[in-house]
């Protein structure tokens, strides 16, 4: 636990809480269907987490292994009133540390306009690999970002991944 924020593994048992967070954080056009969320929580629970502060669920991350050796941050969100407290970073680090020794790269897509998220990812060593034109349903493009090689090793240090993880 850091700064009063506890991270718990995600799973089907808390799917309602994850769904509620998702709907409060993302626009209606961006939320995943219940069925897809259930699939994610079931298949990606090992490297997916929720953040709890003072008993309140304040954020979540869903990270999957979508092919051997590659982790994929599928969704990350923190309630607006709990941002800039380190929750997003803690969630990212939880997935990064969990996948240590399991994957050799972690990838994600992010809106080109999403400066907050891009800054967070850059601070952990993610680099923009390429742009995916019109990736989102409203036509906005995405950056495909990658964390690998020496940047991944540096991320383990930045995240203070313990030897017990990964």
Ligand X SMILES: CC(C)(COP(=O)(O)OP(=O)(O)OC[C@H]1O[C@@H](n2cnc3c(N)ncnc32)[C@H](O)[C@@H]1OP(=O)(O)O)[C@@H](O)C(=O)NCCC(=O)NCCS
Q: How far is CA 109 from the centre of its chain?
A: 11
DSSP per position, 73-90: EEEEEE-GGGTTSSHHHH
* Residue closer to ligand X, measured from CB, 27 or 163: 27
Query: What x-and-dash track marks residues 77-96 binding ligand X by CB under 6 A?
Result: xx----xxxxxxx-------
Residues 74 and 135: their CA atoms lie apart, in Å, by: 14
Edge-to-edge strand list for the sheet holding 49-53: 5-9, 49-53, 56-67, 70-78, 105-111, 142-148, 127-132
Give the Cβ contact number of residue 78 at 10 Å: 24
* Residue closer to ligand X, measured from CB, 29 or 101: 29
* Residue closer to ligand X, measured from CB, 39 or 144: 144
Q: Which residue is nearest to ligand X (CB)?
A: 88
Contact between 7 and ligand X per CB under 6 A: no
Return the residue of 42, 66, 115, 140 that touches ligand X, per CB under 6 A.
Answer: 115
Size of the site for ligand X (CB under 6 A): 19
Residues near ligand X, by CB under 6 A: 25, 76-78, 83-89, 110, 114-117, 119-120, 123
């Amino acid at each position: 636990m850091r700064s009063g924020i506890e991270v718990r593994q995600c799973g089907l048992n808390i799917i309602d809480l994850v769904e509620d967070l998702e709907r409060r954080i993302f626009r209606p056009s961006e939320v995943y269907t219940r069925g897809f969320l259930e699939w994610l929580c079931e298949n990606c629970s090992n490297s997916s987490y929720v953040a709890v502060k003072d008993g309140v669920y304040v954020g979540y991350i869903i990270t999957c292994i979508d092919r051997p050796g590659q982790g994929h941050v599928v969704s990350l969100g923190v309630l607006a009133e709990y941002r800039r407290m380190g929750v997003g970073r803690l969630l990212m680090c939880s997935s990064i540390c969990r996948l240590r020794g399991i994957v050799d790269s972690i990838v994600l897509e992010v809106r080109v306009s999403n400066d907050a998220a891009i800054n967070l990812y850059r601070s952990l060593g993610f680099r923009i690999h390429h742009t995916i034109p019109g990736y989102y349903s409203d036509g906005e493009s995405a950056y495909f970002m990658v964390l690998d090689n020496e940047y991944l090793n540096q991320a383990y240090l930045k995240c203070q991944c313990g030897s017990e993880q990964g």
